[in-house]
Amino acid sequence: MRDFQKYIAAFVGIVFLVFVVWYFSAIVAYILIAVVMSFIGRPIIEGLGALHIGRFKMPRAMAATITLLILWTIFILFFYYLTPLVINEFRALKEVDFTKVSANLKEPVAHLNAMLSSFYGEPIDSVNLKEPVEHLNAMLSSFYGESIDSVAVISSNLKELFNTKNTVGVFNSLTTTVSGLFVALFSITFMTFFFLKDSNLFMKGVSVFTPLRYENNVNEAFLSIKKLLVRYFLGVFLEVIIIFTLITIGLSIVGIPINTALTIALIAGCLNVIPYIGPLIGAIMGVLIVMLNNIDLPLFEEFLPLLGFTALVFAIVQLIDNIVLQPLIYSSSVFAHPLEIFLLILVAGSLAGPIGMILAVPAYTILRVVGYEFFAQYEIVKRLTKGISHERSER
């Protein structure tokens, strides 16, 4: 009976914790980002703290402030250099000779028309839009029970989209977004400063709500979580650097200009942080940028082969990532099987989208460590947390 009550209490506690995390998800996200930033800045602040100029030793608060400035400077410089690269790629569209594009398409379109004509047994114009528009009008008219002009409807909707009322709505939405972004940046900076200044602050906050008999378990759990997450985020950072380098080299080899290759590699490397769907989105964006910047090339002789080689570069890099990098990061840093991680990310993605996929592994790592400390007597917990014992033996 007592064991049953324990199970019920544990279940209620977990449900309540999940509800609190969901209800205050924005605040929880700020805390998690601040913790991650404090982990990233830990080597910097420790290095500053070890500096001595005569008898002067840098105060912890000053070291935390300098570390924060260094971190934000790195992020700002990253976007400062990335944004012009992206803008320049889209500016290149203005230089496209669309007359040349049209001339390059004449032969493929004529070839397509010939194929369609031979298939249907009558002359076919593959780029004639009159018949599809008439067919669309007929479908809309039969659905609404009255005559519908699809072109007029689209034009009317576009005018409505850009009217004054909607413009005001867009402005209000933009103002709300900017305000929310400012609050987020201030909150994250504020919390990161104190996490850097006092490395045990987070643990102290948790200890306030911890019964004395579990204090040792909580301390052990915190040390394990800290070590595993530092290793995981370091692994992810190295993965991004390697992906960026491989894509830059690969695209340069197939003939993409270095500025374009760097832009695509930066975008793909950053998106690679989102497990599984991130690399796919990065590859699609990369191929799209190459396509838009080379649209005036001869179709069969240069354009299609260039797109094919670009896609091949992404496919090879993705194979390297899936076969070599990810198993090393997930298995060696958080001691979890790749299939286990894959299923976890699928569930997290279906529940919380891309953000859930990004946070799935860190959250799962925390849960496994907590399970190892407090529920190791259960067989299922023993199996799920088998790798945690290896981390303890490394201390």
Contacts of 45 (CB under 8 A, 6+ apart): 60, 63, 64, 67, 196
pLDDT digits (tens, 9 = 90+) for 61-79: 888 999 999 999 988 888 8
Q: Which of 55, 76, 95 is the last residue of a domain?
A: 95
Is residue 168 domain-resident? Answer: no
Is residue 357 domain-resident? Answer: yes
Tokens 């797109």 — which residue? 307
Q: Which of 45, 74, 95 is the last residue of a domain?
A: 95
Q: Do residues 267 and 83 lie in contact, with contact meaning Cβ atoms separated by under 8 Å?
A: no
Residue 216: the pLDDT is 80
Q: How confident is the model at residue 85 (pLDDT cuts 50, 70, 90)?
A: confident
Is residue 113 domain-resident? Answer: no
Q: Do residues 246 and 320 lie in contact, with contact meaning Cβ atoms separated by under 8 Å?
A: yes
Is residue 271 domain-resident? Answer: yes
State the alpha helices, DSSP H only, in the chain: 2-23, 25-49, 60-91, 98-120, 130-144, 150-161, 164-197, 201-208, 215-253, 258-271, 277-293, 304-320, 326-333, 338-374, 379-384, 388-394
Determine the straight-line distance between the first and last CA of the chain, rounded to whole angstroms. Answer: 39
Q: Do residues 363 and 351 lie in contact, with contact meaning Cβ atoms separated by under 8 Å?
A: no
Q: Closest Cα to residue 184, out of 37, 79, 34, 22? A: 34
Is residue 305 domain-resident? Answer: yes
- What are 288's two structure tokens? 């799209």
225 and 367 belong to one structural domain: yes
216 and 348 belong to one structural domain: yes
> How many independent structural domains does the chain possess?
2
Strand, helix or coil at 57? strand
235 and 381 belong to one structural domain: yes
pLDDT digits (tens, 9 = 90+) for 150-163: 555 555 655 555 55
**Can you say how many angstroms the Cα of residue 136 is from the centroid of all Cα atoms in its chain?**
38
pLDDT digits (tens, 9 = 90+) for 143-199: 555 555 555 555 565 555 555 555 556 666 777 778 888 888 999 999 999 888 887
The better pLDDT of the pair 273, 250 is held by 250
Q: How confident is the model at residue 129 (pLDDT cuts 50, 70, 90)?
A: very low
Is residue 316 domain-resident? Answer: yes
Taking CA atoms, 304 is separated from 72, 290, 291, 380, in Å, by: 41, 11, 9, 53
Containing domain of residue 360, as a range? 200-395
- Which amino acid is residue 387, in one-letter code? G
Is residue 35 domain-resident? Answer: yes
Is residue 91 domain-resident? Answer: yes
Of the chain, the percentage scoring pLDDT greater than 90 comes to 11
Distance CA 110, CA 138 (A): 29
Say which range, 33-42, 86-95, 238-247, has the weakest mean pLDDT.
Answer: 86-95
Q: Which of 95, 123, 148 is the last residue of a domain?
A: 95
The pairs formed by 344-352 with CB atoms below 8 angstroms and a separation of 24 or more are 345/275, 345/276, 349/276, 349/277
